[in-house]
């Protein structure tokens, strides 16, 4: 099966899922909103023009759609999806949500249709940890195509500048230090950033001039890992939140006088979620066919998302106060001296996420395990 055919089948599968779940759909940040009724989608993930003429089938409303719906369940945990090329992140979430029969789902960071790799999908109470995952470092492996700069800074865009120059390995290596550390980066015109309340990519598609200000981003590491030929260079970068890999390719091409854009992109990790733990869609389907136990073995506990923030332990009385939204003062000689985010546990169980300020814990997210009846994930503890 070709990659395009596989992507088309996934898109169709996702479209079937969206309509029955329009009311309880979740945003990418895990907050409940109504999801729009699906429109026709091509294999690149963009909305396709609606068919015209007598051959077009009318779209069913929720009331008219009498197809049987699988029962949904409360489910808590993370699925570390290896997203294939050719579908959007929202489509991928819809398919995985249906495989597990989960009521509530979201994801920790959008991947473009042309990108593959790590797409952490949160179910239930795990959606409360999404912002902490998105704040983590991300690792990308991407291929820069020299000679052409596009308006989208990737292979989908139109050429806006060309060059016959091709940099040597040494020239690329000499240029990379300028991209390490905290640097100022101008986001791509085709990005989700807002200008006057409008998405930049919407304005760009309408032909308006998009002017975005440079902003600081953190690039902890960027290396040349492969040089397949003179036209291409494979790089790997470890970045902080808000970094655009497409902008790195664009700026590197300009610096070298060769122009450039991203022609392949894979996200290897997001925060604590690493590439070796990713599960392809086909494997999830096979697990679902094998039975409940095999499928649940692909579900990681909620607490995995919080491995990179400090952990605090409190007494049962203090745990009760935190569950009620009240702050708790850290007392005693052994009370930790710290500030910032923390995962709070009581007798080993995760009960809340909060901030520690001046020796006091202020809960921001409280977990409602008592209301859950979902099957426990493969790792011990919540």
Residues annotated catalytic, as ranges: 112
Helix residue ranges per DSSP H, 197-244: 200-205
Task: In whole angstroms, give the CA distance from residue 212 to residue 230.
Answer: 31
Residue 315's SS3 state is coil
The gap between the terminal CA atoms of the chain, to the nearest Å, is 39
- Would you give the distance in Å from CA 107 to the centre of its chain? 5
Q: How far is CA 163 from the centre of its chain?
A: 34
Separation CA 279–CA 291 (nearest Å): 16
Largest CA distance in the chain: 78
Angle in degrees, CA 199, 47, 53, rounded to 5: 135
Q: State how far the Cα of 302 lies from the Cα of 306, in Å rounded to an integer.
A: 8
Which among 273, 370, 355 is positioned nearest to 322, based on CA atoms?
355
Tell me how far apart the alpha carbons of residues 377 and 301 are, in angstroms, rounded to a whole number. Answer: 6
Answer left, alpha or beta for residue 67, where phi above 0 means left and psi between -120 and 50 means alpha: beta
Q: Which residue blocks in the chain are alpha helix, DSSP H?
A: 3-18, 89-100, 130-134, 169-175, 200-205, 245-255, 281-290, 292-296, 316-323
């Amino acid at each position: 099966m070709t990659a395009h055919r596989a992507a088309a089948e996934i898109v169709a599968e996702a479209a079937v899922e969206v309509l029955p779940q329009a009311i309880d759909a979740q945003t990418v940040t895990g907050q409940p909103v109504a999801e729009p009724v699906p429109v026709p989608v091509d294999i690149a993930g963009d909305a396709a023009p609606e068919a015209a003429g007598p051959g077009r089938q009318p779209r069913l409303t929720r009331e008219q759609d009498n197809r049987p719906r699988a029962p949904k369940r409360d489910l808590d945990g993370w699925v570390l999806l290896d997203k294939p090329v050719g579908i959007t992140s929202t489509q991928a979430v819809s398919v995985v949500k249906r495989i597990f029969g989960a009521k509530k789902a979201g994801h920790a960071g959008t991947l473009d249709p042309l990108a593959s790799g790590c797409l952490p999908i949160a179910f239930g109470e795990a959606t409360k940890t999404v912002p902490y995952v998105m704040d983590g470092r991300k690792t990308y492996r991407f291929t820069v195509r020299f000679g052409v700069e596009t308006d989208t800074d990737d292979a989908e865009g139109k050429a806006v500048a060309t060059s016959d120059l091709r940099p040597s390995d040494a020239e690329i290596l000499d240029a990379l230090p300028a991209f390490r550390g905290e640097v100022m980066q101008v986001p791509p015109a085709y990005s989700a950033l807002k200008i006057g309340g409008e998405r930049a990519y919407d304005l760009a598609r309408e032909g308006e001039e998009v002017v975005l200000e440079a902003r600081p981003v953190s690039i902890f590491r960027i290396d040349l890992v492969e040089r397949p030929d003179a036209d291409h260079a494979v790089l790997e970068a470890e970045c902080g939140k808000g970094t655009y890999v497409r902008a790195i390719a664009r700026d590197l091409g300009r610096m070298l006088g060769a122009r450039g854009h991203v022609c392949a992109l894979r996200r290897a990790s997001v925060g604590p979620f690493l590439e070796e733990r990713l599960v392809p869609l086909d494997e999830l389907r096979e697990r679902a066919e094998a039975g409940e136990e095999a499928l649940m073995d692909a579900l990681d506990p909620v607490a995995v998302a919080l491995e990179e923030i400090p952990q605090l332990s409190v007494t049962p009385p203090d745990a009760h106060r935190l569950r009620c939204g009240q702050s708790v003062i850290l007392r005693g000689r052994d009370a930790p001296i710290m500030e910032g985010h923390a995962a709070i546990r009581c007798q080993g169980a995760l009960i809340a996420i909060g901030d520690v300020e001046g020796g006091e814990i202020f809960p921001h997210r409280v977990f409602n395990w008592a209301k859950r009846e979902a099957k426990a994930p493969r790792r011990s503890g919540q």
